[in-house]
A = this chain, B = another copy of it.
Amino acid sequence: MRVGFIGLGAMGQAMAQHLVKAGHDVRVWNRTPERARPLVAAGATRAKTVAEACDEAAVVFTMLADDAALIDAVSGGDNEPGIIDGLGEGDVHVSLATISTELSARLTQAHAESGQHFVAAPVFGRPEAAAAARLTIVAAGDDAALARAQPLLEVMGQKVILLGADPPAANLVKLTGNFLIASMTEALAESYALLRKNHIEPKQFLEIVNGNLFRSPIYESYGTLMAERRFTPPGFKLALGLKDVRLLLASADRAAVPMPLGSLVHDHLLSAMARGKGDLDWTALAQVVAEDAGIVDG
């Protein structure tokens, strides 16, 4: 099948490779064109414009950094046609990125007005999981579009969960999942600060509570990074984590749901930004919490 793939960051690269390997005719596009090389080497075609990547493609995927980048790609601009112009009637745009529920709703409507379909299919997992095709993908959109997208998503993830006809629901599930992780990070950060000032090793504590209570691989991996204070290289940049928490709080605001823990995590991540930690892994939230407790690491 001919498919387009727009946005070739660490995640997009890895995911597009699986489509190529599965034998699809993949047209790729990225703002910085060099990033297309490994895919072209593997058999993909480099499109010169977003619209070219969409041309004749039944499905086009986007994996872009934020709402603004996706809006640009969809609408085009400066005499550049965008995805809406490039796709034909009945074609499907699948957004894999973590975007706002508000943009998801707007794109659903915009594509519908052009006789096209929009599917929100955000993914759980880091670049390593993307490379190993072990992502979990949560997809929502109308039945016809999901039917078209699902086999392609299954090439890229080990599990595809269909969430119904409303795309923003998939984005909300993704944002809320990220919030749970950020909350875990905050809880571990405060715990570690307390333990350290009482001369108890965070690592020993983690072994006890995760070994006997949580038994969770995510507590294991995040908790270990934090105990060892390995905040670089980043698995997920703090600046991006803050962006996601902002999107969550915007959704909560619209729904009139106070999320004081969301606000707390936001404020700590924002403090991390102000202290110059935006390029560290987002578990570096723990440094803010430690510094607030007067702990100065060498």
Chain A residues proximal to chain B, CB less than 8 Å = 101, 124, 136, 138, 159, 161, 163, 168-169, 172-173, 176-177, 179-181, 183-184, 186-188, 190-191, 193-195, 197-200, 204-205, 208-209, 212-219, 246, 248, 251-253, 255-264, 266-268, 270-271, 273-276, 288, 292-294
Give the nearest-CB partner of A169 in chain B: B200
Chain B residues positioned under 8 Å from A198 (CB to CB): 101, 168-169, 172, 251, 255
Bound complex: CA A105 to CA B251 (Å): 26
Contact A261 B258 (CB under 8 A): no
Bound complex: CA A248 to CA B191 (Å): 10
Given contacts A193-B257, A246-B253, contact A212 B179 (CB under 8 A): no
Contact A258 B246 (CB under 8 A): no
Contact A274 B261 (CB under 8 A): no
Bound complex: CA A217 to CA B217 (Å): 11
Question: Can you show 29 pairs from A to B with CB atoms below 8 A apart?
Answer: A136-B213, A159-B212, A169-B198, A172-B198, A173-B208, A176-B191, A177-B208, A179-B191, A180-B188, A186-B261, A190-B257, A190-B260, A193-B257, A194-B255, A198-B255, A215-B215, A215-B217, A252-B270, A256-B293, A258-B267, A258-B268, A258-B270, A258-B271, A258-B292, A263-B266, A264-B264, A271-B293, A273-B294, A292-B292
Contact A264 B266 (CB under 8 A): no
Bound complex: CA A270 to CA B188 (Å): 19
Bound complex: CA A259 to CA B290 (Å): 10
Bound complex: CA A278 to CA B190 (Å): 21
Name the prevailing secondary structure of the A interface residues. helix
Q: Which of B124, B204, B209, B258 is the one whose CB lies under 8 Å from A212?
A: B124
Given contacts A177-B209, A261-B264, A271-B258, contact A194 B215 (CB under 8 A): no
Contact A213 B209 (CB under 8 A): no
Given contacts A215-B217, A263-B264, contact A255 B197 (CB under 8 A): yes
**Which residue, A194, A205, A246, has most C-beta atoms of chain B within 10 A?**
A194
Give the nearest-CB partner of A140 in chain B: B200
Chain B residues positioned under 8 Å from A136 (CB to CB): 208, 212-213
- Min CB distance, A173 to chain B, in Å? 6
Q: Which of B209, B251, B255, B261 is the one whose CB lies under 8 Å from A261?
A: B261
Give the nearest-CB partner of A210 in chain B: B216
Contact B258 A205 (CB under 8 A): no
- Min CB distance, A146 to chain B, in Å? 16
**Which residue, A101, A205, A266, has most C-beta atoms of chain B within 10 A?**
A205
